[in-house]
Amino acid sequence: MAAPLGESALDQLFRDARTCQWFDGREVTDEQIEAIWDLLRMAPTSMNQLPLRVVWCKSPEAKERLAAHAMEGNKDKVRQAPVCAILAYDTQFHEFMPQLFPVSDAKPLFDGPGKAAFRQTSAFRNATLQGGYFIMAARALGLDCGPMSGFDNAGVDGEFFADAPSWKSNFICSVGYGDRSRVHERLPRPAFPQFNRLI
Amino acid sequence: MAAPLGESALDQLFRDARTCQWFDGREVTDEQIEAIWDLLRMAPTSMNQLPLRVVWCKSPEAKERLAAHAMEGNKDKVRQAPVCAILAYDTQFHEFMPQLFPVSDAKPLFDGPGKAAFRQTSAFRNATLQGGYFIMAARALGLDCGPMSGFDNAGVDGEFFADAPSWKSNFICSVGYGDRSRVHERLPRPAFPQFNRLI
């Protein structure tokens, strides 16, 4: 590492980027979807747990199934997004640790019913970190995101994860080219001293 | 949004970036620390909750206090980092919603003892998302990160948050210019089909 990215890159990632819930009609290609994954998977998780699981709802049928479990105000947002991703975490992520963390035998650290709470916390923490990487990766690829928490998690889990009961939905996120005319005014962002201490 | 960032920016953020626990001795300035915050605060959280709280341990004394609660293998990593940040979440984040979300009266959604579990989940989710933004912001500014979960959360909370009992430590993260000669070999990253479904 060395130099900061240029100002326009920092603008695109952070300063000018905005949450978009409405889009301009352009498609998001399957190649773009895979490109988001190919970037975000490189960013760090604890012991390379990589507990994020993603269901990309792109067909009208898939979006309709998801909209059925969204809060009233979010249903149309889901329906009209080019793609709406369900970001989930796998509470049995440790089953993959022999593949993902071959340098030591890490699976026993997380194995068994006595470790269920530890696994839940670790999966939720690390998959949510990956959720942050997801949004930054999409923005780095020139796309806008519309993350949403307003949906029935248990309903989504039942609808989409019947064959994968260890997957738990975390949040959902639309991806596309945002309609900037429908973006809200930027909400306040506090200066450093309010939420930081430097000691 | 429009064009993807250039290849070198994608490399710096994701593909060539590596977790670094050892650094080359260069300082991280107070201005760089504030610049990380100034970027990461712009990225989205649910209803602009912004529940992340950061304690930046930069003085030898602060790093020593933190090292005392780190796992044995992490103590020296904390001590020799230019700065090691404690990323925490505020379970009373809703007290700031009149400031941060002035468009409606959102505080009652999270208020009262009956909402404690909901607040905990929301604070943990959104502050961890901000943890992902933290790492990407540092990388965008040319810095390397060394996130760590291996420490005694209750011990850190008692040591640093005695005056802020609603703050709960999430993970810690060193920041500096990494010593690339001490970075581990890259761990495996699965291809799209293993952890994604496109429907």
The side-by-side arrangement of strands in the sheet containing A83-90 is A144-148, A167-176, A83-90, A52-57, B196-198
Closest CA to B85 of B173, B167, B146: B173
Q: For B138-176, how does the pLDDT look when each residue is reduced to its tens digit (9 = 90+)?
A: 999 999 999 999 999 999 999 999 999 999 999 999 999
Q: Is the Cβ–Cβ distance between B119 and B93 less than 8 Å?
A: yes
Q: Evaluate if residue A1 carries a pLDDT over 70.
A: no
**How far is residue B144 from each of residues A40, B63, B86, B134, measured CA to CA in Å?**
16, 18, 16, 11
Amino acid A95: pLDDT: 98
Question: Using a CB cutoff of 8 Å and minimum separation of 24, what contacts does B149-155 make?
Answer: B149/A46, B149/A122, B149/A125, B150/B70, B150/B71, B150/B73, B150/B74, B151/B66, B151/B69, B151/B70, B151/B71, B151/B74, B152/B69, B152/B70, B155/B68, B155/B69
Q: For A38-48, how does the pLDDT look when each residue is reduced to its tens digit (9 = 90+)?
A: 999 999 999 99
Helices (H), chain A: 7-10, 30-40, 60-67, 72-80, 97-100, 116-140, 153-160, 192-195
Mark yes or no for CB contact B188/A48 under 8 Å.
yes
Q: For A87-145, how does the pLDDT look when each residue is reduced to its tens digit (9 = 90+)?
A: 999 999 999 999 999 999 999 999 999 999 999 999 999 999 999 999 999 999 999 99
Q: What is the pTM of this model?
A: 0.98
Residues in chain A with CB shorter than 8 Å from the CB of B13 are 5, 13, 39, 136, 140
Question: How many Cα atoms within 13 Å fall on the side-chain side of residue A37?
Answer: 24
Is A114 exposed, middle or buried, given 0-12, 13-18 or 19+ CB atoms closer than 10 A? Answer: exposed
Mark yes or no for CB contact B56/A197 under 8 Å.
yes
Q: Give me the residues paired with residue A54 across strands.
A: A87, B196
Residue A71 vs residue A1, higher pLDDT: A71
Nearest by CB to B9, which of A9, A57, A197?
Answer: A9
CA dist B135 and B133 (Å) reads 5
Residues in chain B with CB shorter than 8 Å from the CB of A139 are 1
Q: Give me the residues paired with residue B174 across strands.
A: B84, B146
